[in-house]
Amino acid sequence: MSTSLPKTRLYMTKELSASLKIDAVGAPAHYLAGVLRLTRGDVLGVFNGRDGEWLARIDSQGKGRCELTIERQLRPQRDEPGPWLLFAPIKKTGVDFVIEKATELGVSRLWPVFTQHTQSARVNLDRLRSRAIEAAEQCRRLTIPDIAEPIALDALESHWPRDRRLIVMDERGEGRPLAEIVHHFDGSPAGMLVGPEGGFATSELDALAALPFVTRASLGPRILRAETAAIAALVCWQALAGDWNQSLAQ
């Protein structure tokens, strides 16, 4: 099955069903012709996060437009219940990088959190969403991670769903090893919180530690950059509690 999936994939917001004709104009048309260099007769996978993945064929191309026909479903929709990632926005390349890698690693929600030492006070959510869509297209996901409105760390408690654990990467090393926590996890949904460059303030870590839904974790004896810690947290989760026991062919 895995080898029959087209490598080229496109996310669309439209409903998808067999025999549907789609007239792509503007950016998607340019992407198909100019970036992916697809021409008449070529096939690609399309998905919308709800209806699974479908095989589409290019019927015709013109200036700034591209007509496709949806042929058949390649994969049914399925849940992608990955963890949430809460991260302090870092400098631009850092954020783009975190979005891309977290999407590849199956995150279900990306949630920017402002902390005392957060360098960047503005986040362009449209830009983050575009990055997440590109990464989802390339990594064969069937969903796009949700990009949540940024929140101040001290407002998190009042917005946090009580059935979800929040695993905080405590760079003081006071938590248990993350693998140990995840390996014995009770099956509840989870979020992973990673601090900014320069770390959390001590008062922030102390306040987090007092929250009933928080577990503190450590990521070993070296100092990891913020983006490395984010990736590491998600890798540990997927490898030990997530979907990495499934093969590519599923």
Binding interface with a second copy (CB under 8 A)? 2, 100-101, 104-106, 138-141, 171-173, 177-180, 218-225, 228, 231-232, 235-236, 238-240, 242-250
Comparing C-alpha atoms, which of 76, 228, 63 is closest to residue 142? 76
Buried residues in 44-56 as b, exposed as e (16+ CB within 10 A): bbbbbbebbbbbb
Q: Least separation, in Å, of the C-beta of 104 and a second copy?
A: 5
Report, in Å, the least distance between residue 159 CB and a second copy.
28
User: Closer CB to a second copy, residue 24 or residue 44?
Assistant: 44
Rg (CA), the chain: 20
Q: Which is nearer to a second copy, 159 or 172 (CB)?
A: 172
- Tell me the closest approach of the beta carbon of residue 246 to a second copy, in angstroms: 5
Q: Which is nearer to a second copy, 22 or 239 (CB)?
A: 239
Question: Quick one: 115 or 143, whose CB is closer to a second copy?
Answer: 143
Return the number of the residue (114 or 165) whose C-beta is nearest a second copy.
165
What is the closest distance, in whole angstroms, from the C-beta atom of residue 91 to a second copy in the complex?
Answer: 15
Question: Least CB distance from residue 25 to a second copy, whole Å?
Answer: 29
CB 41, min distance to a second copy, A: 23
Q: Is the Cβ of residue 38 or residue 232 nearer to a second copy in the bound state?
A: 232
